[in-house]
């Protein structure tokens, strides 16, 4: 019996971990929406609106989640679970939030995380650039999207974003774009090289015409 005791203690210790692992599998993001509100000072407010659903047969407690930020510097963060204030801790350029809410089979809970980031926008003469990385994702995503809101007086003239629909655990989505005071149409490619190439071409053409007339 004395020889079997260490083995018994080992399995008793391991059992909760195995149970937790089995329970984490059924979780999915029923909804995963990110809103990026860009402010005039170049900072941004990123709001993550998530709905976690338990598709399994046993209750699940998610525990901790992590949001990694690829641009700017995190200056503040907050979270809520089902409308109640939650824990959000800044760890370098990431935010760790806690979800100690029991999700019963077939049920879902809503989690919101708000992050303020300074230096999000790279400002230029006529065009300001931004980019953000969403993920890596912890659970499969059923529905999701990224919405970008420009500051007052500026237009989004270029926007490229990966779809969040049907993302798998570990996937990453990229968001890139340009803002400008110039009311240019929204394009699926960057205006910056196109605009300045056109300006240089016009200047050269004017110079050539002037030389010919002489």
Render pLDDT for 17-30 as a digit per residue (tens, 0 to 9): 434 443 446 999 99
Q: Tell me what the mean pLDDT of segment 183-203 comes to.
A: 68
Q: Which residues pair with 1 in a beta bridge?
A: none
Position 206 scores a pLDDT of 61
Asked if residues 43 and 151 have their Cβ atoms less than 8 Å apart, the reply is: no
pLDDT at 12 over 50: no
More reliable by pLDDT, 213 or 58: 58
Render pLDDT for 92-149 as a digit per residue (tens, 0 to 9): 999 999 999 999 999 999 999 999 999 999 888 888 999 999 989 999 999 999 999 9
pLDDT at 183 over 90: no
Average pLDDT, the chain: 84
In the chain, where the domains are located? 25-188
Position 200 scores a pLDDT of 67
Per CATH, the number for 25-188 is 2.60.40.1170
Count of beta carbons in the 10 Å neighbourhood of residue 118? 15
- Nearest CA-CA partner of 173 in 119, 130, 137: 137
| pLDDT bracket for residue 167 (50, 70, 90) | very high
Query: Cα separation of 214 and 202, whole Å?
Result: 19
Q: Respond yes or no on whether the N-terminal peptide bond of residue 136 is cis (omega within 30° of 0).
A: yes
| pLDDT bracket for residue 195 (50, 70, 90) | low
pTM of the complete model: 0.79
Position 86 scores a pLDDT of 93
């Amino acid at each position: 019996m004395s020889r079997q005791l260490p083995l018994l203690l080992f399995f008793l210790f391991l059992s909760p971990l195995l149970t937790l692992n089995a329970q984490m599998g059924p979780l999915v993001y029923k909804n995963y929406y990110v809103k990026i509100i860009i402010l005039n000072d170049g900072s941004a407010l990123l709001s993550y609106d998530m709905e976690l659903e338990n598709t399994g047969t046993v209750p699940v407690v998610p525990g901790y989640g992590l949001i990694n930020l690829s641009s700017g510097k995190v200056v503040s963060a907050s979270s809520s679970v089902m409308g109640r204030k939650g824990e959000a801790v800044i760890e370098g350029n990431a935010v760790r939030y806690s979800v100690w809410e029991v999700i019963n089979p077939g049920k879902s809970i809503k989690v919101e995380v708000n992050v303020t980031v300074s230096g999000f926008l790279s400002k230029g003469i006529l065009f300001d650039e931004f980019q953000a990385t969403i993920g890596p994702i912890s659970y499969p995503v059923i529905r999701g999207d990224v919405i970008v809101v420009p500051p007052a007086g500026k237009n989004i003239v270029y926007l490229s974003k990966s779809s969040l629909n049907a993302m798998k655990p570990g996937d990453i989505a990229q968001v890139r774009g340009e803002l400008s005071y110039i009311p240019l149409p929204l394009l699926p490619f960057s205006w910056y090289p196109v605009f300045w190439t056109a300006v240089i071409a016009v200047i050269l053409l004017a110079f050539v015409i002037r030389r010919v007339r002489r």
